[in-house]
Each structure stands twice: as C-alpha cells, then as structure tokens.
Structure 1
C-alpha cells in the first residue's frame, strides 16, 4: 500500500524539482560560456560584447534543447510503458475484470503514483459492488426458486385422479400460499429499490406517533391473541414530523417480527418517549433472541439468521433492510440488543424536527 505524502513533503519535492531544473539550465549556460570563451581565445574575432553575449545565450539555449531531447529519448520508453500499463488496466476493468492492480511494486511516484493509486482504489470499490450484485442475484434466485418448486410440485399432484376433495383443497391452499409469498417478495424488492433511488423524496407532515402505534397494535390483535401474548404499551403523547406511510411500515415490520419470534404466552413491550431532540420507540420481546453474529448482520438483505432456529418461520429476509432504509431516510437510527433465548430489543431514534 502506497503511503500518502504530507503537504510538507509535497512542497519539498516540488522545491527540489525546481532546484534541479535551475541547476540544469545553469550548467548548460556555463558549458556554453566556457566553449565560447575557448573559441574566442583560439580564433580572433572582432564582434562587440553585445553580440558575444547573444551568442553565449543562444548556444546555452541550444544545449538545453539538445540535452532535453536526449533525456526525452531515454525516458520516453519508460513513460510509454507506464501509460500502456494503465490503459491496459482500464480496458480490463471495462470488460469486468476487477482483479487489476496497477504498480503493485510501488515503483511510480508523484502524479503518476497518485493516478495508479486512484485506479487501484476504484478497482476495489467496483469489486465490492460486483460481489454485492452477484450475492443479491443469488439470493433473489434462491428465494424465487423455492416457492416455484412447491407450486410446480403441488400443481402436478393436483392432476392425479385419485385425490379426494380434501386433498385437492389442501394442495390448492399451499399453492395459493406460495404465490402470495412470491407476490410479497416482489413487492419488497420493488419497495427496497424505490427507497434506494437517488430521487427518493419524503413527503413530511405532522402527526401523532402514539396514535399510529396504537392503531397498528390493534390491527395485529388476531396474531398476538392467537399466541396468547401479553402486550404492554407505554406510549407518551408524541407529535412528529415524518412520512406517516413509510413509518407505518417500520412499526408493522418490527411488531410482526416480535410476534413471530416470541413463543406462546410470551410478552412484548412497546414504549414511546421523547427527549428534547429525539423521539424514541422501543419494541422489546421475550422471544428466541439472536447470537452476536446474527445481531450484527440482521439488517443485511436476505439474512435470516440461524436456519436451525428460524426453520419454522417464514420471510424473505428483506423486512429489516427496508426498515433500516426508511429510518435512514428520516435521518434517524435503529439499533438492536439481543441475547440468545432471552429476547430482543429494537430501538428506533428519530429527530423531532425534520431537517
């Protein structure tokens, strides 16, 4: 890795280059003066001092030009090699080869070295983007292939003539469930793409956040009543300026996850409080919790955690990615604390005043 130069080092290098150039020009003029004086001593001339001085200057300039051409001829092949190496690297990058490294030995210095370093940094960033793209395509293909395989298998089974009415109804319900899963995956992908678009513009308005949370909890009542969960609400009155529809998706996702991963007769606590600068929402559950590795990666796209613990739950692994993106768009933050088999606490902090 080429180390960066300080401003003082760059200034000293430039000063040194100017000094070398001045010494070079002075040497050429001195050589011209000595040669002309030798010529004048061996050959009688009757020119005026002004003419002699002009001849000295002209001869000095001629020596500078000749020596510069000689240096150029000697150095040009090396410069051509440097530029050819960089052009070849750019051609390989344009064709999708991001394993290119320019000046791996650190031979180039100055401006050429900075250009080589910039190309290497660009290559590393493109390699990272390509890795994420391939991973994203692989995950999407896997998520789509699973329900399609089920639909194809059960549709083929439905063609059997010996099935009872109950069996046909059962298989039809599975096909309907898998198509719903595909539809939800498609919606989430479109939603995430829309949120990540550069032109995404939030339509902000003032509304009561405590009222929104109460409404969502009531809408989820069939799910938490079915599991006999205890819900504890501690919601302070809170006015907030935000996009109401997008924040609704945040709370729906977090509350649904809390219900999904909390066992029967567990509990969920939802709190809302405000400080001078922030509005804070906490959703705590007594569910299965997460390992440290899962906690660090829980907001990654398609990440579903330990497959042994989540095999009985469904989902595409996009929900929390969407949650984090919505919170980021509101200039807020979301964190999670969790211990395995001891539950999780998701905390969302939003600024009270929109920026």
Structure 2
C-alpha cells in the first residue's frame, strides 16, 4: 500500500519551491533595474510589473530545468546500475553489491529513501540466490560423491568376477559386496526422493489421532533382531500418549533414531527409550551408549549429507540424510529436536511434539 508523504516532507518541498520563486523574481527585479538605469528608461509601474514577473518565471523555469536535469542524470545512472545488476543476477552472477549514498537520506516520517530500499532489496536477493547456489553446488557434490563411491566399488568387484580362477568363497564375497553397495545406492535414492517430496508441496500431510506409545513399542519390537544380535539392553518407558499427527511420517522418525542408536551402540551396550506427556506436549528421548558426538558437530548433524564422524560412517554406512529427513518431518509437526552428547558418553536425542498441531 502506498504511503502518503509526511507533513515535514510536504513542508520542505513548499519551502524549496518558494525559495526558487523568490530567487527568480529577486534576480529579475535587480536585472531589470540595472537595465533601466543603463538605458535611462523609467517604465510605467504596471509595465515594470509585467516585465519583472515574466522574466522571473523565465528564470524559475531555467532553474527548475537545470535541477531536474542534474537529478534526472543521477536517477538515470542509478537505474542503469540497477538494471545492470539485475542482468548479472539473471546470468548467474550473484556477486552483486549496490552501494549508493542514500542511507542517510530520509523521506517522509523517517522512512528510508526509496532508492536505498530498492538497492537493499537487490543486494538481499543476490545474497540469497548466492547462498542457494552454494547449497545446490554442495548438494550436487555430495550426491556425486555418495553415488560415485559405491559405483566404483561395484565396478571394481564386477571386473574381478571375470577372473575364471576365482574360488567360490571369493566369488561369493565379491557378490555380497556388490549386493551391499546396490542396497546402499537404493537407500540413497529412496532418501533423496523422500527429501524432494517433503520439500515440495506434493506431499500429503494427514494428521489424525493415534497412540504414540503403541507406535514406539511396535517399532522397537520390529527392531528386536538387530539389537538382540548385538546383545544390547533395551530399556523402554512409555506413558500412554495420544497425539494428532501423521503416523506414517513420524514412524520414519522413530525408525531412523532407533536404527542409528542400534548402529552406533557397541556390543553389550544399552539403549533407552522414554516417552512422557504433560497434556500439551509429548516428549520422546532416545539415548544410547555409543561413542557420542563431538560438541562442534552437534549443530550440523541435521544438515543434509553431514557426517559427524567420517571414519565411523565409512564402517557402518549411511549417507547423512536420515537425520535431515527426521528434522524435516518434526518441523512439519511443529516440533523440535535437541541432542545432548559427549565423546565417549553416548548420545541422547530429545524430540518434543505438540499433542495437537496448531493451525
């Protein structure tokens, strides 16, 4: 909505206009007076008035045109710079930073100069597009790396299988590695598709009432073969809690955290799962006795493709997308995730969800 100019702004323009008129008529008066004295002519008062008035308006027009030309040239320069900047942005050059001396100028009731607002908007747009381009390049680089690694492995072992002198045990081992890498690629593709759908508006989000405690216990039992194979002690305490949420999406969150806890918990360790509710909020805490997460990595573990421990992830697999998916789903449910961990002391993830999603 367009804002009307303030009183001080209007008053300033009126004063400027009057000063120009007074200067023009004053100049006309003294010039005609000098001319009359030079030619020794004393015109009638009415004629003198008409001459002074006409000459004053001529001077006023000249001054107005001069000022308009000066500021018009500057405005033209400003708009040319802005158009050039927009062209550079459209061509993929986001290193744009327009700087003009409009910051100190105010218009109306303390509002920034419109040119300053426009320049700031262009600078902000360029900065945002630059950040998005950097994220896109990093994303492509990460995807290329994650895909390239298993493909190289598959290619190498497939080539080795051509050796007719391989014994059965070696052949089976190579085939198992190829199968594992294919599953890794399939999981990566599936996770990328999940993120793409969650980021878009195409995903169907259907919250409905259901028992969160029953869902957690069911998923923990489904993972029983995995934690029993590592002799992990599972401690579960779940209060009866009903939430209004998308059961399928939240199921992906719990499966991700449970699988990570089992994956990083050493043989004979323990995992704790606690669910509590205060009526307005449900809190789920999943803690393990694994190697923990360094403090400097804790702020970045929910970034896509970020791996807190590069050596550890090489041995246990993973693409660094699971936590990003979980974080996205929790955000969709208006919840939040916190991590508490120290190296060598395990990690605890706390997920807080509103029992009823706010409109």
Would you call these one fold, judging by a TM-score over 0.5? yes
Residue in structure 2 matching 1:275, options 270, 278, 285: 278
Matches within 5 A, 1:279-318: 279-318=282-321
Which position in structure 1 is the counterpart of 2:3? none
CA change 1:15–1:97 in 2 (3 A) is: farther
Deviation string 1:47-85 (CA, Å, 9 cap, x unpaired) is: 599xx57x7655544332221112233344333332222
Question: Partner residue of 2:79?
Answer: 83
Question: Aligned partners of 1:18, 1:342: CA distance in 2, in Å?
Answer: 74
C-alpha deviation, 1:108, in angstroms: 8.4
Offset of residue 32 of structure 1: 4.6
TM-score (structure 1 length as normaliser)? 0.88
TM-score under structure 2 length normalisation:
0.87
Picking from 121, 146, 169, the partner of 1:118 is 121
Matched, 1:70 2:66: yes
| Farther off after superposition, 60-69 or 276-285 | 60-69
1:182 to 182, 185, 193: 185
Segments of 5+ residues of structure 2 without an aligned counterpart are 1-5, 106-112
CA contact (8 A) 2:209 2:242 kept: yes
1:164 corresponds to: 167
Q: Counterpart of 1:163 in 2: which secondary structure?
A: coil
Preserved CA contact (<8 Å) 2:100 2:116: no
Distance 1:14 1:140 in 2: 59
Q: For 1:282, what is the secondary structure of its paired residue?
A: strand
Alpha-carbon distance between aligned partners in 1 of 2:131 and 2:146, rounded to the nearest angstrom: 22
- The whole-number CA distance in structure 2 between the counterparts of 1:306 and 1:104 is 47
In structure 2, the residue corresponding to 1:252 is in which secondary structure? helix
Give 2:264's aligned residue.
261
- 3-state SS, counterpart of residue 317 of structure 2: coil
1:35 Cα deviation from its structure 2 partner:
5.7
Q: CA deviation at 1:308?
A: 3.1
User: Aligned in 2, Cα 1:100/1:158: closer, same or farther, shift over 3 Å?
Assistant: same
CA distance in 2 between counterparts of 1:17 and 1:144 reads 66
Query: Which residue is 1:4 aligned to?
Result: none
- 2:223 is matched with which residue? 220
Distance in 1 separating the partners of 2:212 and 2:63: 79
Q: Cα offset for 1:170?
A: 1.7
Pick one of 122, 139, 149 that aligns with 1:136.
139
Counterpart-to-counterpart distance in 1, 2:160 and 2:293 = 38
Q: Which residue of 1 aligns with 2:109?
A: none
Instruction: Specify the alignment match of 1:354 in structure 2.
Output: 357
User: Is 105-114 or 80-89 further displaced after alignment?
Assistant: 105-114
Q: Which residue of 2 aligns with 1:192?
A: 195
2:20 to 20, 24, 30: 24
Distance 1:57 1:333, change over 3 A: farther
Does 115-124 or 35-44 show the bigger shift?
A: 35-44
SS state at 1:312 partner: helix
What's the offset of the Cα at 1:104? 6.8
Give 1:5's aligned residue: none
